[in-house]
Each structure stands twice: as structure tokens, then as C-alpha cells.
Amino acid sequence: MKLTLGFSSCPNDTFIFDALVNKKIDNEGLEFDVILKDVETLNQWTLEGKLDITKLSFPAFFQSLDKYILLNAGSALGNGVGPLLISKQKFKSDNYNIDQKLIAIPGLNTTANLLLSFAFPDAKQKMPMLFSAIEDAVLSDKTELGVIIHENRFTYQQRGLFKILDLGEYWEKKMNVPIPLGGIAIKRTIDKQTSIKIDKLIRKSIEYAFANYPLINDYVKTHSQTMSERVMKQHIELYVNNYSIDLGKEGKDAIEKLFEIFLSIKKPQLIHCEETLFI
């Protein structure tokens, strides 16, 4: 059986999937057609049901419950891992009219955008763009504010930008659960036995990667050529953890709370609420 598998070129994803896609572990007869794309492209493809297995942001998953179910392995959750709202000027979010400002976001279907809406429900002026272009958009005054994710958490200060609010920290304080950023979903049309096998293989792939860490493998390096090895490690250590190996009850509770917030912001009638979230 050959299945399409999509994830991003970011170090956390290539770290997770290296052993699986490069057959460093026994794939138990499964073959994967691997596609690397930015997360918002994967989100859009999720809405279209394009891939068999995919990395995705949770808002895209919540809108695709009729097509996909979430695996236990491969997700990105944690504490202190959320997106940041940044600006060229230093100020406090509570004395600046953020609702009236143009904000660059890394995609409408990203968890980053959902967390922005959670913190600032009246902020409606948003400009979606590739996550790696957001720092430049703020620096060039294309937008007044930006929501940054991934490795930009480690670079924005070097470029003279300021953190206005840690949107993940805001979520943690309000909800008292980890921040669910993204997960790995599989099509519901794939039989359950195969889905469970893939879930276990992803877990084995992560365990293999951790067993060889802090060595950064060539697969990660190849797809992260603009990053220093230090930033690659920061990225992996921030986004790959025990929740990536298995969501567990705490991880699932956090995702269910995010789903509740999503439904409170979106139109519930558009969501297939009767579907189960987890494999």
C-alpha cells in the first residue's frame, strides 16, 4: 500500500518523519509518497481532502472532521510554544488599539490565527501570508503587526522587532491547558487497522530520532539550510516532546478545549460536530 504523506520542511516535522520516510525503521510493508509544503498549503489541501495523511493546523482539522481523524503521534503541543504578536514599536497590548491595526498572519486556517482571535476577538484586519515573510512585512510597514511562528520566534529580536503578546502564554493562563498547535491526521476512509499501524510507525520514527539526538540528521539539515544548527535544535526542542509521541489525556483535553473555542468563533452549523476527533 502506498499513501500520500504531507508535512512541512520545518525541523520539527523533518525530525519526526526522517526515520519513517527514509526507512530507518521497518515500515511494515507501507510506502509513502512524501510531499513537503508550508502548513497553510497543507491546511488548504486538508479542506479539499487531497492527502491521505497530513500535518495540519487544528482549525483546518476542525473544518475537515468529515474527512480526517487525528492520530495520537506527531502532534505539536506544549507550554511556551505559542505564536507571538510582534511590532516595530515596543508597547503593551492593553494600551494600544490592536483591533484597528492591520495584522500579518501565517494563514486563515492556522492555529496562530485562532489564538489571535481568542485574545483579540475584534481584530478583523488581517493579511494572510507565508509565515517566513511576516517579519519583513512588519519591518517594511506593509502591516503594523504580525503573528510569527516556527523559527521566527528565535529571530525577531535580532531584527529589531518587539513582542507585544505571547498568544500561547495568553491561552495557557486563560485555559490552564497546553497549547495545541498542529497535528497529524489521516483520512477516515483508510481502514482502522492501517491507521493504527501508521500511528505506531510515526511514534517509532520519533523515538528513533530522540534516541539519536542531539545529532541533527541530514534530512533535517537538507530542508533547513538557512538555519544554524543551534536554531534547528531550538526548533526541535520547542515543538517535539512527549505530546508528539502520544497525545495522552492531557493533550486530548487541550485539543477539545481548542475545538470549543473554535466553535464559539465559527458557525457551528458548518462543522460536522458528530464526528469523533481522535483515532
Active-site residue numbers?
Answer: 150
* HSE toward the beta carbon, residue 189, CA cutoff 13 A: 9
* HSE toward the beta carbon, residue 209, CA cutoff 13 A: 33
Q: Which cell numbers hold the place of 59?
A: 482549525
Exposed/middle/buried for 178, CB within 10 Å: 0-12, 13-18, 19+? buried
Which letter does DSSP use for residue 185 in this model? E
Q: Give the span between the Cα atoms of 239 and 219, in whole angstroms.
A: 17
In 3D space, the residue among 95, 86, 42, 99 whose CA is nearest the CA of residue 68 turns out to be 42
CA distances from 209 to 122, 185, 197 (A): 42, 21, 18
Q: Give the span between the Cα atoms of 140 and 130, in whole angstroms.
A: 15
3-state secondary structure of 36: strand
Residue 235 CB contacts under 8 Å (≥ 6 apart), including other chains: 10, 11, 12, 150, 151, 154, 224, 227
* Axis-axis angle for helices 167-175, 111-119 (nearest 10): 60
Whether residue 59 is preceded by a cis peptide bond, meaning omega within 30 degrees of 0, is: no
In 3D space, the residue among 76, 70, 29 whose CA is nearest the CA of residue 241 turns out to be 76
